Amino acid sequence: MNKEEQLMVGFRELFNKINWLNKPKMEESLKGYTSSEVHCVEFIGNHPLSNVTQLAEGMYMTRGAISKLTKKMVKKGLIESYQKPDNKKEIYFDLTEQGKRVFQIHEALHNEFQNRDKVVFDQLTEEQFTGILRFIDSYNEHLTKEMNRQDTHSK
């Protein structure tokens, strides 16, 4: 196995282990909500004035899928839709009180998991962090370009 393959296998193994460790607590604490609903709540909580297009781009879903998801979430009382007085065309979303509670639970769990794993990050030097972040940024940029290229070809 070459270094690239080792790295990709390592990433998959790492993310699978993180998921294995986090999933039971997430499911227990956020019972009754799907992963998509929780991540949509997270996106809206972190991005005020979110609309369907922004949600679709930020969650890597189609606008149709986001429309379906947000309708379901409005019915569940997690979010509410609204329009700005100066823009009646665009629909925006905001968290309800229930949505804010889900957001806070989700954030608290992320903080708990981050604290659990802090021991590993505390061992990294500034130089190691910089190198890892540089690689992640570069790979993300490459994948974004590839997604845009494929999106252009599919139209």
pLDDT, one tens digit per residue, over 115-125 is 999 999 999 99
> Is there a domain that residue 18 lies in?
no
> Is there a domain that residue 82 lies in?
no
Task: Give the pLDDT confidence score for residue 150 in this predicted structure.
Answer: 86
pLDDT in tens, 57-97: 999 999 999 999 999 999 999 999 999 888 888 899 999 99
Task: Give the pLDDT confidence score for residue 151 in this predicted structure.
Answer: 76
Q: Is the dihedral of CA 131, 133, 136, 142 positive or negative?
A: negative
> Is there a domain that residue 140 lies in?
yes
> Is there a domain that residue 138 lies in?
yes
How many structural domains does the chain have? 1
> Is there a domain that residue 85 lies in?
no
Q: From 81, 82, 66, 74, select the one nearest 98 (Cα to Cα).
A: 74
In terms of DSSP bridges, do strands 50-51 and 79-84 run parallel, antiparallel, or are they unpaired? unpaired
Domain residues for 153? Answer: 124-155
pLDDT at residue 153 is higher than 70: no
pLDDT at residue 155 is higher than 60: no
Does residue 43 contact residue 103 with C-beta atoms inside 8 Å? no
> Is there a domain that residue 146 lies in?
yes
pLDDT at residue 127 is higher than 90: yes
